[in-house]
Structure 1
Amino acid sequence: MSDMNATAPRVPKRVAAVILNSLKGGVVPRIGLPYITVGREVEIRALLTDLDLIADGGASFRFLVGRYGAGKSFLLQTIRTHAMGENFVVADADLSPERRLQGGQGQGLATYRELIRNLSTKTRPEGGALGLVLDRWVTRLQDEGGDGILERARASVANLEELVHGFDFSRMLMRYLQASLEGDDEVKSCVMRWLRGEYRTKTEARTDLGCSTVITDDDWYDYIKLIAAFLTNAGYRGLLVLIDELVNLYKIPNAITRQYNYEKILTMYNDTLQGKAHHLGIIMGGTPTSIEDRRRGVFSYEALRSRLTQGRFAREDMRDMLAPIIRLHPLTYEELLVLIEKLGQIHAGYFGYENTIGDEDLVAFLKIEFGRVGADTHLTPREVIRDFIELLDIAYQNPDTDISALLRDEGAVTGAVGAPATDDGDAPFAEFTI
């Protein structure tokens, strides 16, 4: 591990602060993920393969399944960062009681608004990139030169008119172009508001834009498909949509409402597999229960269960990474060891002290974590990370503290430190599920 210490990349202080504060708070940082990513190579490779399909005009749909704290949201954010770096536009949203895929009080539209609010690109990774995307389209048309910019624009959006709601969507794009050429910021703002789904009534939209339609709870997904198809005109490779916390659909008390939401998932799934969507990738994240529970989960909807159930040839040691459901396997003991070593380096770099935590201390810390009662079924990377950052914070605030002694004392309480290694020399807790 000493070699890694010597070659570890220096993490900018602002990024280090976000990493440490987010992880200690139990949430995934929006930036700096490459500095702390370990393992998950198989899953990342499988999901990045989908990006090539999306760029070629196809579509993909995946479920990412993992227990709370197992790294599901972390992996989604890692894919988000990769996709933006490859010139994709990414939109992400967490479902909640107020944000669903379908709902009687606009919960589906609320999810659409959240996705558009979080629309991100490489140059605007924090979200709010809708205006940037539209302006890039206008600039590309202007850079082509000549007088027929409106004709070129109509030609570039002609293919969209064949899609559901494509005529109104194309009209709004043309209004934005004309307003840009005329310097009419008010109309540009109105078009942006329309595209964000913020017009509540058709009368309001007709008054401002002369358009008799608005994006609604029932048809918002059609506009996601339109945006995905449009993005290539602006020079992007496609759209990746990340929807996390499917457990909030599982928690819907009304069975009929749940079924409507699962029906919307089925529509998205069928669209991507049947070629009805283009340049669009969708990844949904959920817990095993929210997917596989046959009473309230996704599998309670028979049409989805029959499509998603694992085949008979896949095994624990031989997974099908081309299947629609990717199940997150636990991080290994060795991967966690590398992860906490990286965190130790980031912490020392941020607070400006020499990192003196040795390999023995790291191993002792993990033995304590795995020595807890119930660790074999309930310990997750989130808890390990949070405990380790707490340990680093305490050691920094109490410079006279001997971390090795602290770990020895705690290990004596749990009975973890000093546990014998297995015959093959591996750590004794490597086989535990995390």
Structure 2
Amino acid sequence: MTSSRPIDLEGAPRIPKRIAAVILNSLKGGVVPRIGLPYITVGRENEIRALLTDLDLIEHGGASFRFLVGRYGAGKSFLLQTIRTHAMGENFVVADADLSPERRLQGGQGQGLATYRELIRNLSTKTRPEGGALMLVLDRWVAAMQDGAPDDGASRSDAAARAFCRPLEEMVHGYDFSQMLLRYYHATCEGDDEMRGAVARWLRGEFRTKTEARAELQTSVIIGDDDWYDYIKLLAAFLQGAGYKGLLVLIDELVNLYKIPNAITRQYNYEKILQMYNDTLQGKAAHLGIILGGTPTSVEDRRRGVFSYEALRSRLAQGRYARDDMQDMLAPIIHLHPLTYEELLVLIEKLAQIHAGYFAYTPTITEQDLINFLTAEFERVGADTHLTPREVIRDFIELLDIAFQNPQASIDELLNKTAIGGGAAAPLHQANSLPARSEAEFVEFTL
């Protein structure tokens, strides 16, 4: 039975005003907030449970690789940010990046290195959740090495640091990586901020030429397009030894690989995915988790998507026994299904509470109003195939904003006027507009 009484704020959690503002502004703008997600997380229990299992594996020295697949607005980015927030809270280091025409996994003009740079720029920890945590992590490691140095009067002894780096030297590019760590250690002990900065630049992949690196660091080795992933594996091993549980890498917008017009270039990028996949599943990487986010077409299209690379398709294709209503959450690909009506109802009630708390007013919206709003959304033409949580959330926050600015109008009145006037409840595809296209047709049409 529905209630005509206004929703209750008594049981709602108290949210700092800054976080409430970020939540409301981000969601109304169609993007996922980077903070405050626990306040609005609804559903996705099975998906979250599966990804938490991966974190447990990473903590204990394993590695994991997942695809999160869902159409635009279905909640991929939201789930990625939810896992990101949880992982940082559990003492993992997280690096995230969105692919774009300038950022790929492999490229002949620095596109792969650009992705590495973005990942390192967004390196985040519990105490530095907004990114830029590289030097914080390095300084924490130096402090740990100094604490473990032998107490023989040589306070700047590097014995502990050298012992730490020895296992790393056995990995691909491990010797060069270890030498940079030792230089950072010595520079910190000696108060040489210029050298510390140069090593950090090297680790961030910012040296464009070997000549530049040789002048500042006396090394002819730099991180490049072809080998940046090897340094991600080294970073994961380093972080575990530095006191963290591991490294979680989140890469979204896989559709930008699907859009690459040159077939050979696409194949090189999919080959890099295959390398990552094989490394994590065959035990060639440790304390490392990788999650790629993409649309169904960007993964499953056999002409341009990930499945166009046969070696990946044969490994990732769904087996005989999985069904839409009974997914295998231990499979490499997790398909995101739309939130249910009931889950959306819980979500918009949370948003109504956050909105009222942020603007400090007593809400007048009732549970029946929430149901009427969802009913209007789901009755829109094309809603069965095109309506996503993103559109529902954006429309609802707009409704709350208008109701707050026009207190003389009731929610029911606003909903009825919208339905009559063709506002939020207007068809998703107008009858006189271009015919609706499939996702694959749309992407190809826009190339």
Shorter-chain TM-score above 0.5: yes
Q: Aligned pair 1:228/2:226, yes or no?
A: no
Query: By how many angstroms is 1:249 displaced?
Result: 0.1
Q: State which of 291, 311, 321 in structure 2 corresponds to 1:313.
A: 321
Other-structure match for 1:420: none
Q: Tell me how far 1:325 sits from its aligned partner.
A: 0.1
Q: Are 1:47 and 2:55 matched, yes or no?
A: no
- What is the total number of aligned residue pairs between the two structures? 416
Match of 2:158 among 150, 157, 168: 150
Q: Which residue of 1 aligns with 2:254?
A: 246
TM-score (norm 2): 0.91
Q: 2:172 aligns with which of 143, 159, 164?
A: 164
Partner of 1:399: 407
**Would you say 1:361 and 2:365 are equivalent positions?**
no
C-alpha separation in 2, matches of 1:413 and 1:340? 23
CA distance in 2, matches of 1:317, 1:24: 31
Identity %: 79
Tell me, what secondary structure is at the counterpart of 1:131?
helix
Letter in 2 for 1:157: C
Which residues of 2 match residues 334-413 of structure 1 at below 5 A?
A: 334-411=342-419
Contact 1:364 1:411 in 2 (8 A): no
* In the alignment, structure 1 residue 80 sits paired with structure 2 residue 80: no
Q: Secondary structure at the match of 2:67?
A: strand
Pick the aligned partner of 1:68 from 65, 72, 97: 72
Partners of 2:314 and 2:341 in 1: CA distance: 35
CA contact (8 A) 2:322 2:328 kept: yes
Alignment pair present for 1:280 and 2:288? yes
Q: Name which of 36, 40, 58 aligns with 2:40.
A: 36
State the partner residue of 1:184: 192
**Residue 139 in 1 paired to residue 143 in 2?**
yes
Shift of 1:3: 8.7
TM-score (normalised: structure 1): 0.94
Secondary structure of residue in 2 paired with 1:134: helix
Which letter maps to 2:123? L
Q: Where does residue 299 of structure 2 map in the other structure? A: 291
RMSD, aligned CA: 1.5
d(CA) in 2 for partners of 1:104, 1:317: 43
Cα distance between partner residues in 1 of 2:326 and 2:401: 41
Work out whether residues 368 and 410 of structure 1, in 8 Å CA contact, stay in contact via their aligned partners in 2: no
Which residue is equivalent to 2:60?
56
Large movers: runs of 4+ above 6 Å:
1-4
Give the 3-state SS of the residue equivalent to 2:166 in structure 1. helix
**Cα distance, 1:4 vs structure 2:** 6.7
Aligned partner letter, 2:371: V
Aligned partner of 1:213 among 213, 221, 226: 221
Structure 1 residues without counterparts, runs of 5 or longer: 418-434
Q: Quick one: which amino acid aligns to residue 316 of structure 1?
A: D
1:413 Cα shift?
6.7
Q: Is the 8 A contact 1:116 1:130 kept in 2?
A: yes
In the TM superposition, what whole-angstrom CA distance separates every residue of 1:329-368 from its partner, at most 9, and x where no partner exists?
Answer: 1100000000000111111111111111100000000000
CA shift for structure 1 position 7: 1.5
Distance 2:381 2:26 in 1: 27
Distance 1:315 1:72 in 2: 20
The residue aligned with 2:442 is none
Check whether the contact 2:88–2:126 (CA below 8 A) recurs between aligned residues. yes
Q: Is the 8 A contact 1:64 1:325 kept in 2?
A: yes
Distance 1:90 1:350 in 2: 30
